[in-house]
Amino acid sequence: IVFLLLRQEFQQAVELMFTYPDSVNVHRIGSSLIDILINENDEKIKSVIAGIERDTPLSNFRQLIVSMVNRAQFFLGDERFVSLIVKVIKNPKLKCALLIQIGNLEEALAIAKESCSDFLPLIGNYAGHEGKVQVLADAVRAIEKIEKEKKS
């Protein structure tokens, strides 16, 4: 499956994942994929991530990307690679959650204000713990604005 993903044969890879769900470990695929992609150029990485997102159901894509980001962030310590992966993702909820995970609260806040306000309290909480007073204040204002709009 990793070989198919690298060759950008996304539909065949997804078909295999669904045909043999009991014998396919999505986390292992994500880990193997990240180990190979880390040596590729940015354009190859972007095209593979974009293709997987385009051709994979969101739940499977989320599993795969989270395992890739976790491996890159916590085991390989490659922040550039993590940022590149997150930048390519189009789904706003997944992107916002990953931005919070990697500590990019400013960008997560901007996305949360636009399309996934459920993340605003979490962003505010993290901002408070990290001493990012401006982000905390912006999150609180956004929450207050939403509450005010609900009442009117």
pLDDT tens column, 43-67: 999 999 999 999 988 988 998 999 9
Looking at residue 74, the DSSP 8-state letter turns out to be: I
User: pTM for the whole thing?
Assistant: 0.85
Per-residue pLDDT of 133-147, as tens digits, reads 999 999 999 999 999
Contact status, residue 38 vs residue 81, Cβ threshold 8 Å: yes
CA distances from 102 to 5, 20, 85, 149 (A): 25, 32, 11, 31
